[in-house]
Structure 1
Amino acid sequence: MKLKHILAIIPAILIASCQKDFLEPESLSTFDDNYIYSNVDDARAGVNAVYSQFNEDAFTSRLSSNLTGNTDIETQSGWGNAGDRYQIWDLQASEGNADLDKLWTAAYKAIRDANIAIKGLTNSGNLENTDVSVKNTFNHLLGEAYTIRAYWYSMLIYYFGDVPYSIEAPVAGAEFSLPKTDRNTILANEIQNLINVEENMQWADQLPYGIEQVNREYTLGMIARLSLQRGGYYLTPELNMVRKGDYLDYYTIAKTYSHKLIQLKDRELPTDFRQIFLNQVKFTSPVNEDILFEIPFSINDGDVAWNIGIEVNFDNATHNYGQCSNYMEMPHTYYMSFDSSDIRRDVTCGLFRYDNTLTKHFIDGSGISQAKWDRTKLTTPPGKASTKDTGINWPMMRYADVLLMYAEAENELNGPTIDAKEALKKSSSKSL
């Protein structure tokens, strides 16, 4: 009994004298935000989480390509089919549309992760670190987080209009059921955030992953793109097309920041238009060329050249390249809208398909595919039964886009000036 009594006292003494050491140990397998954002390597890993939703189905198969149907150039978009994506293309999405639910969920997960990263980076003290390399890296990481968050809000607004606006990292006890915020307020705030961070970001040729990570070029382009979205017309819940009275302010911002990129980091567009997209199929991502930023899919991820690209038949195939379907056909009228000497026409419009022996069969005017991506050009064939997960990156913005945005903004503000015409000419003479 005495021994038991003594043993019973010892834990009480230990608890009283060493309560912090024994009951609140620091786990070696988990780190809080203070630790994660105390050093460059872990901060990089923290910001990588913000990219993770780009590798989920909501983006790889939906937002990047499948949700973009029903524009001016598809000959069929599945009218009459009750599938989720067809509902969206037909502008008749039901309340239970699973594709829109995927988009909504992925967007707010990415926004949550961005908010966590922004808080960690901002509170770290490393944005003013005396070590220039650490300071520059942390400021760039902050720009990455803000830019990706702005992208997702832009997409939410595009598909849903006014949405809940969350800019705080989640904490226990916080209110998560937020009301809608006016779309124009969200866009104005996100534009200003990017303006605040872009000068402290690094160019693609200064970064370890080049155009496969958010860079200053892309952020400048996003400022212009978001500004045109903010200054443009939009559909109200009452089905009226309107735009805010201050729209010219945002055309001015679009012009200023697209022109800033042109001044600071101009480049010639490639003379070989096909090579721009062949680089992606060959897993080559050159900096200081046309593509400013592309989503870096792993070898076993991404749907490019599966649901968009030259059609490839893999039924009883004798080849090892797998399948590519043609989800959104283009009409022959779109093909005929190109000048016959336009080098972009035959890269954009696929007039043939591959059968199961890789023999080309030319189409008869219907079934034109998006020819920019051809899985038969992959250096290593992915296998007879392969479908998705080609690893081919998805382009998010091109320099040609920036030139067009500058031309649009300049034309809106000052009419068809020489500058607007020259930017349009440069964007379309070699590449668009």
Structure 2
Amino acid sequence: MRKYIIILSLALLAFTSCKDYLEVNSDSKYEDNYVFGNKEEINRVLTAVYASLMSNDTYGNAYFSTFALNNDVEFTANGSQLRNVNGEDFRAFDGTQDAPSIQRFWNKQYEGIERANIFIEGVKSSSVYSESDLDIKQQIGEAKVLRAMFYHDLVVMFGDVPFTTEPAVKRNSLVTPIEDRNKILSFLIDDLKSAASGMKYAVNLNFGVERASKEFCYGMIARMALTRGGYALYPDGSPGVMKRMPDYKDYYRIAMQYADSVISSGSHSLNKSYRRVFIDQVNNIVTNNDDPIFEIPFLRRSSGNVGNITGGAVGSVEGVTNHPWGSVNGGMRLNAFYHYSFDRKDIRKDYTVGMWSYDVNIVPQVLVDYSMYNNKWSKLWADPSKALGSQTSGNTGVNFPYMRYADILLMYAEAVNEVENGVTGANGLKAINAFKEVRKRAFLTSDHSEKVENYTSAAAVSKDDFFMAIVNERKWELGGENVRWKDLVRWNLYSKVVYDSFKEYYIVASLSGGDYLNGFEKYEKLPFNKFFRRINNPNNIDIYPNTDSRFRIIDFHNPWEATLHPGPGWEMATFYSWYDDANSIPRPQILYSFRGFVNAGPGGNWEALNPNNLPPVRYIFPFPNQTIQMSNGVYKNSYGYN
């Protein structure tokens, strides 16, 4: 039996420790008379599917930087009233179809889909294939889960997209038809349901959570079901209309069932401390039965910018540092007010939100900016033996946790609350316990009575209260992981949150310039002046993950509210100086960071918007211009894109 597939040139390097090192040549060639002759060939082509995850055009960088749209958690300032000439202002909801990044992302996602389609077709057509072969069923399942992952992110970002499960050489047309997003998600959910039974748990897989496991398959079903059951932007004028399908509760039931499948399996837990999850990822330590469900496996000194664009910035001289960790870009930022939303005793706060950087002399400098650092990963958190070198920046090889067990627990709680109109009965109790499990890790045991038990009991009194508790808990638990805007979309809360975030920045900026707008009273106690001192490294990984004595740290007197000067030895940093006194208006970064939805200044729209009847945020990305041209007019952009 002879079948045609694309054979991808690649090399599978030896796996070292529990970290898999994949090195893939980007070239490929077409063969029209080839079959898989053995399992080794099957594994090599499956490796190529994984390799499509590793590009900096997608999950290695752009996924959590270029396409981390502004909200009340992730935030990047934009100081221009005019659109970027390259069309790259996606974070401000003002990108264009000509942006190079959108074409690269699109191409890489469809490369991964094509490789998965080739693999599945090739294996099923091979003489090696057997329904009773558990290894092959696992590998087919992996390819299907990765294909679903690629398609799901395309659907979330682009809406209705080209969809096929056949390799290109089997299709009659080079232009793949556009399919309704709901049909795509429904197909993929059913596809993974059938694949799940033949898959293995991560603890039984070589390389564990760096491969698609049974629980990741279940988790992707739950995630796609919530997307399918949630709100989305549909093309109906400019920018479109937010709606969800009449059968949405059917998909919440699916999410509930499959999130519960992960929980009931007992294959994962939250035993590690919150910070340890991310510190271990920086140190290439993979744990297969804890919080991570699936980690995208990047290669040291070869791929991935986690730990470089995340973490506080670290300066260098001509790209060289005087320590072995190398420079850090620190460009993936958080909203300046995000850390104020946490409970003061929430131990996630001080690890997630970074408030200082290091200059070229390793002197810590307080960050006085429009945003905060995302400290969940930093190259500095690596043990000295794992440091990449003084001349390094990107290509960190730090794994990105695409799905975590905490996410599963919160998805389950959300689905039960929606399906059962609150959290009562046996499923309600299980939802409450899932919610508590996430909060327990966020607080010291001594605080559990108040912050976990009492807090959850108060939230569980009604469906609406429990829903808002989930909205907030996901905000605190998943901050900096580029989940927030997608959650807000499916809850139909994105417009309100963006408007409120803009107004918060605008009010505080005006207050710093002496203008008092409605609502300013809430911000009068903000610490516009924060007092700090530089102290020796505490040499305690639970306080500061880098224990090298050269890295002194910043000690704040009280970073949460206005205080008097504490006395000698304390320096002062002035925050929120965001007002342009010369023009009597907040600075451009305040006016235009949410430009495509709400903006101020000349021609601004913010005062004309009705906060009780806001238009939808145009979060949907345009089809790339080159893709439209190559379709000979079959593909067209909606949502007001030209």
Q: Which amino acid aligns with 2:104?
A: K
* Identity across the alignment (%): 32
Preserved CA contact (<8 Å) 2:269 2:290: yes
Preserved CA contact (<8 Å) 1:37 1:121: yes
Preserved CA contact (<8 Å) 1:65 1:308: no
Deviation digits for residues 96-145 of structure 1, max 9, x if unmatched?
01111111111111111110111112223555366xxxx11100011111
* TM-superposed deviation, 1:267: 3.4
Preserved CA contact (<8 Å) 1:64 1:394: no
Deviation digits for residues 209-242 of structure 1, max 9, x if unmatched?
1111111111110000000001111101111111
Q: Provide closer, same or farther for how the CA distance between residues 265 and 121 of structure 1 changes in structure 2, counting only shifts above 3 A.
A: farther
Separation of aligned partners in 2, 1:64 and 1:76 = 12
Match among 423, 428, 440 for residue 429 of structure 1: 440
Preserved CA contact (<8 Å) 2:310 2:378: no
Q: Provide closer, same or farther for how the CA distance between residues 129 and 251 of structure 1 changes in structure 2, counting only shifts above 3 A.
A: closer
Match among 350, 359, 363 for residue 363 of structure 2: 359
Preserved CA contact (<8 Å) 2:36 2:123: yes
Q: Which residue of 1 aligns with 2:42?
A: 43
Deviation digits for residues 183-222 of structure 1, max 9, x if unmatched?
0000100110000001110111111111111111111100
* TM-superposed deviation, 1:82: 1.4
Higher RCO structure (Cα 8 Å, ≥6 apart): 2
Q: Which residue of 1 aligns with 2:577?
A: none
Preserved CA contact (<8 Å) 1:304 1:394: yes
Q: How does 1:212-223 map to 2 (within 5 A)?
A: 212-223=210-221
Deviation digits for residues 357-398 of structure 1, max 9, x if unmatched?
333333357542111112123333323332110111111100
Moved more, 274-283 or 79-88: 79-88
Separation of aligned partners in 2, 1:31 and 1:103 = 23
Q: Which amino acid aligns with 1:102?
A: R
Q: Which residue of 2 aligns with 1:124?
A: 126
Q: Which amino acid aligns with 1:68?
A: A
Q: Which residue of 2 aligns with 1:90?
A: 92
Give the secondary-structure state (helix, strand or coil) at the position aligned to 2:337.
helix
Q: Provide closer, same or farther for how the CA distance between residues 172 and 162 of structure 1 changes in structure 2, counting only shifts above 3 A.
A: closer
Separation of aligned partners in 2, 1:32 and 1:138 = 22
Q: Provide closer, same or farther for how the CA distance between residues 97 and 271 of structure 1 changes in structure 2, counting only shifts above 3 A.
A: same
* TM-superposed deviation, 1:76: 3.4
Separation of aligned partners in 2, 1:179 and 1:49 = 25
Q: Which residue of 2 aligns with 1:23?
A: none
Q: Which residue of 2 aligns with 1:203?
A: 201
User: Does residue 373 of the first structure (1) align with residue 377 of the second (2)?
Assistant: yes
* TM-superposed deviation, 1:307: 1.3
Q: Which residue of 1 aligns with 2:619?
A: none
Q: CA RMSD in A?
A: 2.3
Q: Which residue of 2 aligns with 1:179?
A: 177
* TM-superposed deviation, 1:155: 1.2
Structure 1 gap segments, 5+ residues each: 1-28
Q: Provide closer, same or farther for how the CA distance between residues 85 and 138 of structure 1 changes in structure 2, counting only shifts above 3 A.
A: farther
Q: Which residue of 1 aligns with 2:405?
A: 399
Preserved CA contact (<8 Å) 2:36 2:127: no
Deviation digits for residues 16-46 of structure 1, max 9, x if unmatched?
xxxxxxxxxxxxx999698653422211111
Preserved CA contact (<8 Å) 2:39 2:128: no
Q: Which residue of 2 aligns with 1:99?
A: 101
Give the secondary-structure state (helix, strand or coil) at the position aligned to 1:241.
strand
Give the secondary-structure state (helix, strand or coil) at the position aligned to 1:67.
coil
Separation of aligned partners in 2, 1:85 and 1:269 = 41
Preserved CA contact (<8 Å) 1:67 1:85: no
Q: How does 1:178-257 map to 2 (within 5 A)?
A: 178-238=176-236, 239-257=240-258
* TM-superposed deviation, 1:346: 1.1
Q: Provide closer, same or farther for how the CA distance between residues 144 and 276 of structure 1 changes in structure 2, counting only shifts above 3 A.
A: same
Q: Which amino acid aligns with 1:388?
A: G
Structure 2 gap segments, 5+ residues each: 1-8, 10-28, 424-428, 443-476, 478-642
Relative to total residues, which structure has the larger strand share, 1 or 2?
2
Q: Provide closer, same or farther for how the CA distance between residues 292 and 93 of structure 1 changes in structure 2, counting only shifts above 3 A.
A: same
User: Does residue 160 of the first structure (1) align with residue 158 of the second (2)?
Assistant: yes
Q: Provide closer, same or farther for how the CA distance between residues 102 and 75 of structure 1 changes in structure 2, counting only shifts above 3 A.
A: closer
Preserved CA contact (<8 Å) 1:310 1:375: no
User: Does residue 386 of the first structure (1) align with residue 392 of the second (2)?
Assistant: yes
Q: TM-score, normalised to structure 2's length? A: 0.59
Separation of aligned partners in 1, 2:242 and 2:30 = 49
Preserved CA contact (<8 Å) 1:331 1:365: no
Separation of aligned partners in 2, 1:103 and 1:405 = 27
Relative to total residues, which structure has the larger helix share, 1 or 2?
1
Q: Provide closer, same or farther for how the CA distance between residues 267 and 204 of structure 1 changes in structure 2, counting only shifts above 3 A.
A: closer
Give the secondary-structure state (helix, strand or coil) at the position aligned to 1:368.
strand
Preserved CA contact (<8 Å) 1:231 1:244: yes
User: Does residue 338 of the first structure (1) align with residue 311 of the second (2)?
Assistant: no
Give the secondary-structure state (helix, strand or coil) at the position aligned to 1:318.
coil
Deviation digits for residues 391-411 of structure 1, max 9, x if unmatched?
111111000010011011001
Separation of aligned partners in 1, 2:32 and 2:275 = 45
Preserved CA contact (<8 Å) 2:304 2:395: yes
Separation of aligned partners in 2, 1:177 and 1:32 = 21
Q: Which residue of 1 aligns with 2:298?
A: 297
Separation of aligned partners in 2, 1:221 and 1:284 = 22
